[in-house]
Amino acid sequence: MPDITAVTHAQNIRYDKQAEALYIIDQTLLPGEEREIRLTTLDEMVEAIRALRVRGAPAIGICAGYCMYLLARDAWTEDRQAFLRKLTEDGEALNASRPTAVNLSWAIGEMMAVARARLQEPREVLLDALYQKAVAIHEDDIAKCKAISEYGLSLLKEGDGVLTHCNAGPLATSRYGTAQGPFLLAAERGMHIRVFADETRPLLQGARLTSYELQRAGVDVTLICDNMASIVMRNGWVQACFVGCDRIAANGDTANKIGTSGVAILARHYGIPVYVLGPTSTIDMNCPDGDHIPIELRDPEEIKTLWYEKPMALPEVKCYNPSFDVTDHDLIAGIVTEKGICRAPYTESLAALFDDET
C-alpha cells in the first residue's frame, strides 16, 4: 500500500531532541515555499500561532505541548513554587494567542498537570516527564487521526464526491488529518473519491493548503471559490460534506472555519449529509452550546488585502472578520471521532465518549 502521507507533511511540527529545538513549517508561505522556522522564545511561539504559521486545532495543541516543555526549561529554578508560577504565566500567555480552538488550552492543561504532579522531582526527571508528555500528545494525535480517517472513510463509497472547507489535513494535525484523512486513506487503497475544496476566504487555507496537500497526494481534487459550493451541490456532484472542527460544545454545536455553517445550511437544502471530523480533544464538555464558544475576531486587513498584500478595498472601509462560525448541531449528520461516530442526540452520544474517563 503506498504511503500517501509521506508526500504530505508528516513533519509539520518537529522536535529535535539533541539540539532541544522546535521547528514548524511556516504555513503562511505555502504553497510557494516550504520553509521550516525555529521557535525559541515565548514571543515567537505566540506570534507563530497568532499569525497562523502553525494552525489547525490539533496542530496548535501539538505545538503547544513542545512549547510548554521549552518554556519549562527556561523557567527552571530550584524554587519550585516560583517555577510553577512562571510556567503558569507563560502558559496563560500562550493560551491567549488564539481563543477558539480548545486543543490549545487542552494541551497546555495536560502539560501543567504533569508539571504539578512532578513538581518535587529533580530537574531532569521533571523536564523529561514534560518532554514525554509533549511527545505523547503528538503521537496520540497520529493514532487518533488514523482512526478518525478510517471511520470517515466508512461513510463513503467508490466514486463519491465530497466537499470540504478550510484545511483539516496533515498540516493541521500530525499525519493524515481529520476531515481530509479519509481522502488520503482512500487514495492509498486505490479508491476514487472526488474532492471539492472550498478556497476558504479570507486566508485561503483551502486553496493554499488543502488543494496543495491533496494534489500532491494524488487525490482527485477540484478547487472552488466558497460561493461555488451551491452550484456544485445542485449539480449532484457532492454526496457528503466533511469538515474539521475547532471546538465542539456538549450539545454538538460546532465551531469551525468561517463559512462552515453556510456550507451546512446549503447541504441541508440539497439533502446532503454534513459530517464533522475531529479528535475528542476538540470536544469541550464544559461548553454547553455554540453561544458559549469564543469566536476569534481577526484583523480587517485580512479581508482588505489579498494574502499576497494587494489592496482589494478602500483602506477606510469597515470590515467584520470572524475567523470561525458555529454550525448548529441539528445540521450535523454525525460527529466522527477516534472513538467512533456520534449521532444525535449529541448531548448523550458525546457524553458517552468520556464515560471511561470518570
Query: What's the closest the beta carbon of residue 39 comes to ligand MRU, in angstroms?
Result: 16
Mark 255-284 with x for binding to ligand MRU (rule: CB under 6 A) and - for no binding. -xx---------------------------
Beta carbons within 10 angstroms of residue 132's beta carbon: 12
Catalytic residue among 90, 198, 226, 246: 246
Window of 1-9, 167-175, 287-295, 312-320 that interacts with ligand MRU by CB under 6 A:
167-175
* 257 labelled binding-site residue: yes
Residue 168 touching ligand MRU (CB under 6 A): yes
Residue 293 touching ligand MRU (CB under 6 A): no
CA distances from 357 to 115, 280, 351 (A): 21, 12, 10
Helices 181-188 and 123-153, axial angle in degrees (round to 10): 70
* 205 labelled binding-site residue: yes
Residue 238 to residue 296: CA distance in whole angstroms: 30
Provide the b/e sequence for 57-66 (b: ≥16 CB within 10 Å).
bbbbbbbbbb
What's the Rg (C-alpha) of the chain?
A: 20
Looking at the Cβ atoms of 323 and 327, the one nearer to ligand MRU is 323
194 Cα distance to chain centroid: 22
- Active-site residue, 246 included: yes
Helices (H), the chain: 42-50, 57-75, 80-95, 102-117, 123-153, 181-188, 205, 211-216, 229-234, 260-270, 301-304, 346-353
* 98 labelled binding-site residue: yes
Window of 63-71, 136-144, 170-178, 336-344 that interacts with ligand MRU by CB under 6 A:
170-178
Window of 55-63, 215-223, 286-294, 349-357 that interacts with ligand MRU by CB under 6 A:
55-63
Write out the residues near ligand MRU by the rule CB under 6 A. Answer: 52, 55-58, 101, 166, 168, 172-173, 177-178, 205, 244-246, 256-257, 323
- Annotated catalytic residues are 246
Cite the annotated binding site by residue number: 55-57, 98, 205, 256-257
